[in-house]
Amino acid sequence: QVQLVESGGGLVQAGDSLRLSCVFSGRTFSNYRVGWFRQAPGKERELVSTISTGGSPTYYIDSVKGRFTISRDNARNTVYLQMNSLKAEDTAVYYCAAEGKVGTGKYEYFGQGTQVTVSS
């Protein structure tokens, strides 16, 4: 069973940076596409970014392009989300996610989430 554990969230000011980390266990990490979702209060969970097994291609929603960077270290079973120039609207619980089955692109495994709060 895949397990995902996020860390790195916190309270920052607008314009600051944070790096989220997520450790994957239970299966062979390098076989899985992984990504980050977020859910803001009163809103549905949305996909923020994904990364393929070898590190590319990557995907970003428009609102974070140029500010967020996703990366992975297959030797450490870890995926990262570097978030720069944070805005108040980035405030949300961020969830690491992995495909349910290799190659499907359907994200069915989620971590417990880490809170990111950006004060304006």
Mean pLDDT in residue range 99-105: 85
Give the DSSP per-residue string, 38-99: EE-TTS--EEEEEE-TTS-SEEE-GGGTTTEEEEEETTTTEEEEEE-S--GGG-EEEEEEEE
Peptide bond into 41 cis (omega under 30): no
Mean pLDDT in residue range 29-54: 96
Does position 13 have pLDDT exceeding 90, yes or no?
yes
Mean pLDDT in residue range 58-87: 98
What pLDDT does 66 receive? Answer: 98
What pLDDT does 94 receive? Answer: 98
What pLDDT does 67 receive? Answer: 98
| Residue position matching structure tokens 């790096």 | 19
What pLDDT does 105 receive? Answer: 84
Does position 98 have pLDDT exceeding 90, yes or no?
yes
What pLDDT does 102 receive? Answer: 82
Does position 101 have pLDDT exceeding 90, yes or no?
no
Mean pLDDT in residue range 72-84: 98
